Amino acid sequence: MVFENVQLERTAIELPLLTATDRPLVWRHSEPVTAARFLAHVLAIAEQLPVGPAAVNLCEDRYAFLVAFCAIALRGQTNLLPSSRAPQAVAEVMAAHPGSYALGELALDAPPSHYRHLPNLMDVPEAQGELAIPSLPGDQVVAIGYTSGSTGTPKGNPKTWGSFNASNAGNLRMLHDSVAKQFHVVATVPPQHMYGMEMSVLLPLLGHIAVHAGRPLLPADVAAALAEVPAPRVLVTTPVHLRALIESGVALPPIDAMVSATAPMPVELAQAAEARFGAPLLEVFGSTETCVFASRRSANDEPWQLYDDVQLHPQPDGTQVRAPQLDEPMTLADIVTLHDGGRRFRLCGRHSDLLEIAGKRASLGDLTRRLQAIPGVQDGVVFQLENGDALGVHRIAALAVAPDMDEQTILDAFRQSVDPVFLPRPLKLVAGLPRNETGKLPRAALLALL
């Protein structure tokens, strides 16, 4: 799909690019950047952008990403958000959008074709006088987010400015009820990922919320970033990063909430995080296709609470989602059961994860959880192989990180909690799993490692 960089007659309502300018929007080097200063940067960068239908936004600094995101949108272009910044992933996305270019604040050693470097982002002069906040048509496609590839080939999902406003409204209501009307976000996830987009790009643009410009990964870096923003503080992270924080023993400044997504949150980890950091852990549920549409406090609640005006309709092969941010119903592969008049649901697994071997059933998610629960296993995953055996049965395999164990010991322990037909063959020990920036495991990387 190609989106031309032309002015079209639009009937959709115009929606502001951001809320009030007299507030901090980003914290950078311990200093606040006001929304007015940010808007001056956006307008200056927009004038420098080349003509084209779309741009791959490769900015790593979150402030640079925000400026580039808005500048690209103001030019009537689309932000392309690959599943990773790996050269092949970027090249594939650009090939699917002829005429597109790439944009980033770093001088790359091997930049993609048509790379536009923004070296002087912070040197844009202050605007003279008060700037009017520009608006975008609600039906303008401002981004195309690509799935992670954890279940196959990454797929593009167009997002309009109207749909982003609708999904952000649900997140704002949830966080306002749980934290406060105004707070400051530190995020360990990249803005290119849809979860990172929602929690660290849309929230500061469309709410009275400020975000830290960095993307800290190591526990000490997370602590330092949190110390650079005032209270109330919200840490946006993933189960993988959260586990590393707990195991590190690092002391964090007081935080008012933790938000997690991208992978199931074990209740034991949620409870440990709340006990360790003295703040509620809010898990959000969604996808690149739908954006977030439900949440729960994982330490206390198994069922998920749907956002306002969201409806789920179980299907034989998944669940149909109706939400304000969706023009049409979307069917996800997740299998759910509805409760409390359809306002809450329990997740039973994904249709693609369900296994049936010799008349017995299991799910890959449950098998992975049981593998990870074996004492001595630091990380692990169970997945299904692509080719069936002579009887057409698709066997399962596993990769485990367990430095002090051997494969047979793990299998013997696994046998205590699963039916023998679901024991992975092969199970291989590895030094580490090929998790991406958000902790997910792309299927192609698992097969390659196996």
Number of H helices, E strands in the chain: 12, 27
Average pLDDT over residues 28-47: 92
- Please check whether residue 355 is in contact with residue 396, taking contact to mean a CB–CB distance below 8 angstroms: yes
Separation between Cα atoms, residue 301 and residue 285, nearest integer Å: 13
- CA-nearest of 99, 60, 54, 105 to 76 is 54
Separation between Cα atoms, residue 118 and residue 120, nearest integer Å: 6
366 phi and psi angles, rounded to 5 deg: -70, -40
Separation between Cα atoms, residue 61 and residue 84, nearest integer Å: 15
- Please check whether residue 210 is in contact with residue 258, taking contact to mean a CB–CB distance below 8 angstroms: no
Residue 151 pLDDT class (50, 70, 90 cuts): low
Positive or negative, the CA dihedral 21, 26, 31, 33 is: negative
Q: What is the pLDDT of residues 415-429, one digit of tens each?
A: 887 877 788 888 999
Q: What is the pLDDT of residues 169-207, one digit of tens each?
A: 999 999 999 999 999 999 999 999 999 999 999 999 999
The residue ranges of DSSP E strands in 243-357, in sequence order, are: 257-260, 281-285, 294-297, 304-306, 311-315, 318-322, 330-332, 334-339, 344-350, 354-357
pLDDT score for 45: 92
42 phi and psi angles, rounded to 5 deg: -60, -50
| Residue 181: both structure tokens together | 């009307």
Residue 8 pLDDT class (50, 70, 90 cuts): very low
Separation between Cα atoms, residue 219 and residue 6, nearest integer Å: 46
Taking 60 as the threshold, does the pLDDT of residue 11 lie above it? no
| Residue 193: both structure tokens together | 């990922």
pTM of the model: 0.82
Residue 352 pLDDT class (50, 70, 90 cuts): low
Max Cα–Cα distance, the chain, nearest Å: 75
233 phi and psi angles, rounded to 5 deg: -115, 140
Average pLDDT over residues 337-350: 90
Cβ neighbours of 431 (radius 10 Å): 7
pLDDT score for 9: 37
